Amino acid sequence: MATSKILTGGAAAVVLAGALVFGAPAAQAQTLIPGVTGCAAQGGKQEGGAVIGALLGGLLGNSVSGHNRTTGTVLGAAVGAAAGSAVGCQMQHNRAEAAYGYGDYRQPATYSRGGYRLSSAIAPASYSRMGEIYVATLPLNLRAAPTTNSERVGSMRAGDRFQALANVRGTDWILVGQGGVGVGYVHGAYVEPQGYRYAAAY
């Protein structure tokens, strides 16, 4: 009977903690759970992680708080939500990076040139349209211009997929795209069309 009462009380306290944390106004919610809604990468894993973290943290706080279970539950829920939020946000970043590669790339402002939208961090060139998915065969640097001595604006890992928007005319350089925006250049000797190795085996 005593165990049943403790569990019932703990569940009620977790519900109360969730109401206090997630029902608070936006400014208060940011104070209670820093970063729950501030992830730069898109997706719903951050919010889901915050909810799961709040529930687990609330239960843990309730079980270890001794006489003041409500305060322990609320604090546990807040800490758990913050931790779950951080994990969820990192998962969103990992998913975006796995989808497009580009390691440390962060998209700045853009401009239009020759029918392409380009990152303000890169120089324009003369292009021949490609519009295919390519794969990096080695770790690569993204360059600001189609030359090896131009500024590094990002990176790729071996196996990263990317949008090959265009070939730079008269060269082996490829304009790398993210969401239809040109974000840098890679040399064609170190990339290949997606599925190329499998097709070559037949």
Q: What is the CATH number of the domain that holds 147?
A: 2.30.30.40
Name the one residue in this structure whose structure tokens are 């925006």: 181
* 191 and 130 fall within a common domain: yes
Among 88, 80, 104, 97, smallest CA distance to 43 is for: 88
Q: Does the residue 105 lie in any domain? A: no
Last residue of a domain, one of 53, 68, 100: 100
Per-position b or e across 84-106, b if 16+ CB within 10 A of its CB:
bbbbbbebbbeebbeebbbeebe
- Residue ranges with strand state E in 83-126: 110-113, 116-119
* 80 and 151 fall within a common domain: no
Q: pLDDT tens digits for 61-75?
A: 677 766 777 776 777
d(CA 100, CA 112): 21
**Percent of the chain topping pLDDT 90:** 39
* 71 and 129 fall within a common domain: no
Last residue of a domain, one of 67, 100, 133: 100
Total count of domains within the chain = 2
Q: Does the residue 164 lie in any domain? A: yes
Confidence of residue 38 (pLDDT cuts 50, 70, 90): low
pLDDT at 89: 66
Q: Does the residue 59 lie in any domain? A: yes
Confidence of residue 25 (pLDDT cuts 50, 70, 90): very low
Last residue of a domain, one of 40, 72, 100: 100
Among 66, 57, 70, 54, smallest CA distance to 10 is for: 70
d(CA 152, CA 144): 6
Domain range for 68 is: 2-100
* 188 and 125 fall within a common domain: yes
Cα–Cα distances (Å) from 163 to 65, 68, 79, 171, in that order, read: 53, 56, 40, 18
Confirm whether pTM is higher than 0.75: no
Average pLDDT over residues 156-185: 95
Greater model confidence, 66 or 25: 66
Residue 20 pLDDT greater than 50, yes or no: no
d(CA 43, CA 49): 11
* 120 and 195 fall within a common domain: yes
